[in-house]
Amino acid sequence: MTIRTDGIVIREQNTGEQDRLITVLTKEKGVIRAFVNGGRNPKNKNVSSTGLLCYSDLSVEKTKKDVYFIKEATSKKIFFSLRQDIVDLSLAQYLSELASELAPREEAAGEFLPLLLNSLHLLSVKGKDINLIKAVCELRMLCLAGYMPQLVGCKKCGAFESESMYFDTRTGEMFCEKCQTAARLKQMNAGVVRAMRHICLSDPSKIFSFTLPPEALCVLSQISEAYLLNITNRNFKTLSFYKTMTEI
Ligand SMILES: [Zn+2]
């Protein structure tokens, strides 16, 4: 069976002497792994269009044993500038790994695909603060995967806002000034609460359209990352690498 779909390559590895195995976030089939026969031969016509972070129009053969092979790939967009900046590239690889972890398999990718593409685009044109891109992508992907935090109001009394609100990065619940008790809760000012509501509840085309002062962005960034790591309950090598790069 041949499937025609758009997709972005989110991981690549060599296999055997000649071939490559790529992980692709596709529009029609979510995350798939597919072999590129002869994909290590520079003369192969599909090499450049199946490289890491390449967004391509793909023709994919699925065998009876559910193994995918790339028959043909035509590149639509190559995020070339990301390869020239190690910090941008390391974040792109982390966001790709997140998609690989959270996006559907064997069913349509839905908003995951435009979200990853928009994030990579903003990163490549340096259109937004890098930590804002990271936080938006983390939180929105969690929402898409069914882990939307409870941001409507205080978990206990329902208050919509108080001077500070307090977020539980283990459960995704929020508490007001009066009701917060646990020391581990993260304090957020009104700007951070607004930003989190904006990221989780806005139309997909608007989620990156906000700004925060550096201190508040730092809080948002810490909260989204901690919530993501708690929910996924795993370590991401690409995140560790990104942090190594940004701490230099
Ligand atoms: Zn309350």
Ligand 1: distance of its center to the CA of 159 in Å?
Answer: 5
Looking at residue 248, what is its pLDDT?
Answer: 61
Mean pLDDT of 122-129: 93
pLDDT at 41 over 90: no
Q: Are 67 and 35 in contact (CB under 8 A)?
A: yes
Ligand 1: distance of its center to the CA of 153 in Å?
Answer: 8
| pLDDT tens-digit series, residues 50-107 | 999 999 999 999 988 889 999 999 999 999 889 899 999 999 999 999 999 999 999 9
Ligand 1: distance of its center to the CA of 166 in Å?
Answer: 10
Same fold flag, 2-78 and 81-246 = no
Q: For residue 247, name the pLDDT band (cuts at 50, 70, 90).
A: confident
Q: For residue 43, name the pLDDT band (cuts at 50, 70, 90).
A: confident
Ligand 1: distance of its center to the CA of 154 in Å?
Answer: 5
Q: What is the CATH number of domain 81-246?
A: 1.20.1440.120
- The average confidence (pLDDT) of the chain is 94
Ligand 1: distance of its center to the CA of 136 in Å?
Answer: 26
C-alpha distances out from residue 65 to 12, 62, 104, 111, Å: 21, 8, 20, 29
Domain 2-78 CATH assignment equals 3.40.50.1580: no
Ligand 1: distance of its center to the CA of 163 in Å?
Answer: 12
pTM of the model: 0.95
Of all residues in the chain, the percent with pLDDT exceeding 90 is 84
Ligand 1: distance of its center to the CA of 51 in Å?
Answer: 50
For the chain, the domains span 2-78, 81-246
Which three-class secondary structure state does DSSP give residue 32?
Answer: strand
pLDDT at 214 over 90: yes
C-alpha closest to that of 37 among 54, 61, 55, 56? 61
d(CA 162, CA 155): 13
Encoded tokens for 21: 């195995």
Ligand 1: distance of its center to the CA of 86 in Å?
Answer: 44
Looking at residue 160, what is its pLDDT?
Answer: 94
d(CA 56, CA 35): 15
Strands (E), the chain: 2-15, 19-26, 30-36, 54-62, 68-78, 164-168, 173-176, 186-189
Mean pLDDT of 136-143: 98
Looking at residue 123, what is its pLDDT?
Answer: 96
Ligand 1: distance of its center to the CA of 180 in Å?
Answer: 7
Q: For residue 136, name the pLDDT band (cuts at 50, 70, 90).
A: very high
Ligand 1: distance of its center to the CA of 177 in Å?
Answer: 7
| pLDDT tens-digit series, residues 109-123 | 999 999 999 999 999
Ligand 1: distance of its center to the CA of 227 in Å?
Answer: 21
